[in-house]
Chain A
Amino acid sequence: MTNLRPTATATATATAGAAPGVRPQGEGAATRHGRARSRTGALFVTPYVLFLLVVFAVPMVYTLWISVHRFYFTAPGTDIDSPWVGLSNYRDVFTDPVVGRAFLNIAVFLVINVPLTVILALVLASALNAKIRFRAFFRAAYYLPYITASVALVAVWQFLFGTDGFVNNLLGAHAPDPSWLVNSHLAMPMIAVFVTWKQLGFFVMLYLAALQNVGKELYEAASVDGAGRVRQFFAVTVPGVRPATTLVLIYAIITGANLFSEPYLLTGGGGPDHASTSPVLLMYQKGIEQGHPDFAAALGVVLVGFVLLISLAARKISERGN
């Protein structure tokens, strides 16, 4: 970008010095250059715009259309009537107790997962940013669950938290009954903790990147003023990484609200008795397993609205005082 500035300044100067109605010398070349740059830029952007249109915008519009029609998937060439039903599918969504339970589950998930993610990721990133022994090993260790397939990790957690699992054997008579993953009060918190652990490495990495931009002199100044480690953390680190915190918050909310693999795999399809069902899992069950894509589409639209609202709220809260 820096090497473009002289050209822009020269163009501006030439334009300012020319008489009205007279085409300044060099303007044509600059315009041609601008157009060429614009074309090149557009060319680079086009594949992603196409990707967005095909993978996101078209399905989104189609989803909206399905959600206001009575619709089901059929074989190609089938001439079926998909009548307009207005908000009927949305009424079904809002009156289905399982949908209510799924959103409540997500609320429980977010209440546990998001604060835990932000706090643990920031604390760990601060620790890993300091000069400690085996720093590279610890950084890799925290990142490992993030890049490991959920299926493999779920097997490990089932081994740990199953009825006859390692944890229950340690707890003996104090083990919960029913066990962790089939207990209607514990299933969702267990998923929230699992996801926190699995994704922590990614958020630690985000915070580590943000910490590189917090000036050393701020810590030195705080130290001179008599601030200890804890005070430095709250007075320098936390405000210093606030933009990253906003990013972490929004990302954690979006991924949390789109939870699917964990309840699908860890708690046997959202069990027990829908205690760990998520809206996306429900969309899959209703849309694919039970053949109600119209209901699933309406639920999808509601979920998008839900995620947008809480993401905006989280952004407002985290950026307050900036």
Chain B
Amino acid sequence: MLRRTAYSLLVLALASAATACGRPAPDQETAAKARGPITIWLSNNAQEVAWGRNMVAAWNRSHPGQHVTAQQIPAGKTSEEAISASIIAGTSACLVFNTAPASVPTFEKQNGLVALSDFPDGDSYIERRGGALTGQYASPDGKFRQLPWKSNPVMILYNKKIFEKAGLDPEHPRLATYSQFLETSRTLVHSGAAKAAIWPAPSSEFFQSWLDFYPAFAAQSGGKQLVEDGEPQFDSPAGRQVASFWRQLYAEKLAPQEAYPGDAVNDGKAAMATVGPWAVSAYKDSVDIGVAPVPTADGKSPEDTYSFSDEKSAAMFSACRNRATAWDLLKFATSAQQDGKFLEATGQMPMRENLTARYPDYFQRKPVYQAFARQAEHVVEVPNVPGSVDVWQAFRDEWTKSVVFGEEPTGTALRRASAKISKLLDEYGDPA
């Protein structure tokens, strides 16, 4: 009797655990046509949340039978980890308006994404909205599983007050070439105006290269991605110049080797940062902001200078049971009208061509954003390749070893990273 009870309890416990851990997937064909209430997730950026709430309220007013609930992405070390966990548990929201393109191959492999190209007007809507910018967001099979939504083109943001304190001209900072940037950095630090000239996170997380190496590489190489046509591109003169430049910043202690426990720019510890336009509103009360393009070895005009897009897409997840509603909402949220409202609320750039011509009033009123809008026309995305996270991790490991800590020559590190990434790409291309 007791054994039977214990056995039953065990089965019950296991069944409960299994039920609690995973929710069955919806039938794809039924879900694609189904309409009804859905949930969407937004990032935890206050301005984005405010825009999202207003957008959802506008939708709900005109679609009473298809109620949308907006929530912030559940807390985690990164949004990507929280989303990945939700895919596995079958509890992800229908739409996530903060999907990193680098994570799309992983989500795709997990069968967590709905191919937007499968909607009758999927491809045409995405291509019409994003124009020439959209091509690099298609998966290797040619289908779109993300809608390129907004970018935060990375530029050099500097604190004018700190520049003044160091005796530098804040209106005409000498930051265009590597030698100018280094000279300005030395002045900033040696004068005592700031503890660091620039303070990107020196740690080993795979995504940290997006704010030190990648914008500089995009600028120096004239817009190359980390990987193109299945081949790593950074073991090249442009990659080596970028690595040497950053190595010098670390070697001369103009950029610290230890992560700052907070926001170094906000706290006045760093004079510059590599950031997107989101930072303008974030720093508006603490920093007198100036903006400059990412430096290159010999200097380039701003209109010829590429940078990293730091783009975030909107994606539909396979746990969604009312996908027809989700697709309609996605189009509603990325309409010209909502994009304008998003720009107004957040200062982040909708992924559309000719932003300054499309929203002239806004950029006239807020000239500090004009530079970011122009930069948004010359951006590079992370490569959409299988094993994207592994690829970036392999690069970052070599970067921290050589560039941040100087434990091996930068040229050797780039060569080694390139070989590792080639091997990874081969393995992912041929998993058997």
State whether the Cβ of B354 lies closer than 8 Å to any Cβ in chain A: no
* Contacting residues, chain B, for A270 (C-beta < 8 A): 204
Q: Cβ of B397 and Cβ of A274 under 8 Å apart?
A: yes
State whether the Cβ of B357 lies closer than 8 Å to any Cβ in chain A: no
Q: Cβ of A272 and Cβ of B87 under 8 Å apart?
A: no
* Contacting residues, chain B, for A77 (C-beta < 8 A): 24-25, 90
Which one, B5, B23, B203, contacts A268 given CB within 8 A? B203
State whether the Cβ of B191 lies closer than 8 Å to any Cβ in chain A: no
State whether the Cβ of B13 lies closer than 8 Å to any Cβ in chain A: yes
Q: Cβ of B389 and Cβ of A72 under 8 Å apart?
A: no
Tell me which residues from 41 to 69 in chain A have a Cβ below 8 Å from any Cβ of chain B: 42-43, 46, 49-50, 53-54, 58
A75 vs chain B, min Cβ distance (A) = 5
Contacts A54-B17, A75-B25; A290 near B204 (Cβ below 8 A): no
Contacts A74-B88, A163-B258, A272-B257; A46 near B6 (Cβ below 8 A): yes
Interface string of B18-29 (1 = CB under 8 A from A): 000011110000
Task: Please report the C-alpha to C-alpha distance between residue A270 and residue B259 in the assembled complex, in whole angstroms.
Answer: 13
Q: Cβ of A76 and Cβ of B258 under 8 Å apart?
A: no
Q: Cβ of B258 and Cβ of A162 under 8 Å apart?
A: yes
State whether the Cβ of A291 lies closer than 8 Å to any Cβ in chain B: yes
Q: Cβ of B14 and Cβ of A155 under 8 Å apart?
A: no
Q: Provide a sorted-by-A list of 22 A–B residue pairs whose CB atoms are within 8 angstroms.
A: A50-B9, A53-B13, A73-B110, A75-B112, A75-B319, A77-B25, A158-B261, A163-B256, A179-B258, A182-B202, A182-B258, A269-B203, A271-B203, A272-B400, A272-B404, A273-B397, A274-B397, A288-B81, A289-B393, A290-B390, A290-B393, A291-B106
Tell me which residues from 317 to 369 in chain B have a Cβ below 8 Å from any Cβ of chain A: 318-319
* Contacting residues, chain B, for A76 (C-beta < 8 A): 22-25, 88-90
Main secondary structure of the interface of A (DSSP, over half): loop
State whether the Cβ of A204 lies closer than 8 Å to any Cβ in chain B: no
Task: Please report the C-alpha to C-alpha distance between residue A58 and residue B18 in the assembled complex, in whole angstroms.
Answer: 12
State whether the Cβ of A229 lies closer than 8 Å to any Cβ in chain B: no
Contacts beyond the supplied A73-B87, A270-B204, A271-B204: 9 A-B pairs with Cβ under 8 Å: A39-B2, A50-B6, A74-B112, A75-B25, A75-B111, A178-B257, A179-B258, A268-B203, A290-B389
Chain A residue with Cβ nearest B318? A75
Q: Cβ of A53 and Cβ of B111 under 8 Å apart?
A: no
Which 7 A/B pairs are nearest by Cβ-Cβ distance? A77-B25, A76-B90, A268-B203, A78-B111, A76-B22, A273-B401, A73-B88
Tell me which residues from 187 to 231 in chain B have a Cβ below 8 Å from any Cβ of chain A: 195, 201-206
Chain A residues in contact with chain B, CB under 8 A?
A: 39, 42-43, 46, 49-50, 53-54, 58, 70, 72-78, 80, 98, 155, 158, 162-164, 178-179, 181-182, 184, 268-274, 288-291
B271 vs chain A, min Cβ distance (A) = 16
State whether the Cβ of B164 lies closer than 8 Å to any Cβ in chain A: no
State whether the Cβ of B263 lies closer than 8 Å to any Cβ in chain A: no
Task: Please report the C-alpha to C-alpha distance between residue A178 and residue B22 in the assembled complex, in whole angstroms.
Answer: 46
Chain B residues in contact with chain A, CB under 8 A?
A: 2, 5-6, 9-10, 13-14, 17, 22-25, 81, 84, 87-90, 106, 109-112, 195, 201-206, 256-259, 261, 318-319, 389-390, 393, 397, 400-401, 404-405, 407, 431
Contacts A54-B13, A268-B203; A184 near B405 (Cβ below 8 A): yes
Chain B residue with Cβ nearest A40? B2
Chain A residue with Cβ nearest B201? A268
* Contacting residues, chain B, for A78 (C-beta < 8 A): 25, 110-111
Query: Could you say which of B393, B397, B405 has the most chain A C-beta atoms within 10 Å of its C-beta?
Result: B405
Task: Please report the C-alpha to C-alpha distance between residue A70 and residue B428 in the assembled complex, in whole angstroms.
Answer: 13
* Contacting residues, chain B, for A288 (C-beta < 8 A): 81, 84
* Contacting residues, chain A, for B10 (C-beta < 8 A): 50, 53-54
Task: Please report the C-alpha to C-alpha distance between residue A182 and residue B256 in the assembled complex, in whole angstroms.
Answer: 10
A221 vs chain B, min Cβ distance (A) = 52
Q: Cβ of A75 and Cβ of B88 under 8 Å apart?
A: yes
* Contacting residues, chain A, for B393 (C-beta < 8 A): 289-290
Q: Cβ of A291 and Cβ of B84 under 8 Å apart?
A: yes
Chain B residue with Cβ nearest A77? B25
Task: Please report the C-alpha to C-alpha distance between residue A77 and residue B318 in the assembled complex, in whole angstroms.
Answer: 10
B395 vs chain A, min Cβ distance (A) = 13
* Contacting residues, chain B, for A42 (C-beta < 8 A): 2, 6
A271 vs chain B, min Cβ distance (A) = 5
Contacts A54-B13, A273-B204; A182 near B257 (Cβ below 8 A): yes
* Contacting residues, chain B, for A163 (C-beta < 8 A): 256-258
Task: Please report the C-alpha to C-alpha distance between residue A289 and residue B392 in the assembled complex, in whole angstroms.
Answer: 12
Which one, B9, B195, B206, contacts A289 given CB within 8 A? B206
Which one, B9, B22, B404, B405, contacts A46 given CB within 8 A? B9
Chain A residue with Cβ nearest B110? A74
Q: Cβ of B407 and Cβ of A74 under 8 Å apart?
A: no
Q: Cβ of B14 and Cβ of A58 under 8 Å apart?
A: yes
A172 vs chain B, min Cβ distance (A) = 16
* Contacting residues, chain B, for A181 (C-beta < 8 A): 258
Task: Please report the C-alpha to C-alpha distance between residue A244 and residue B183 in the assembled complex, in whole angstroms.
Answer: 62
Which one, A72, A75, A164, contacts B90 given CB within 8 A? A75
Contacts A54-B17, A75-B25, A291-B106; A271 near B400 (Cβ below 8 A): yes
B38 vs chain A, min Cβ distance (A) = 17
* Contacting residues, chain A, for B195 (C-beta < 8 A): 164
A273 vs chain B, min Cβ distance (A) = 4
* Contacting residues, chain B, for A43 (C-beta < 8 A): 2
Chain A residue with Cβ nearest B92? A75
B327 vs chain A, min Cβ distance (A) = 19
Q: Cβ of B205 and Cβ of A269 under 8 Å apart?
A: yes
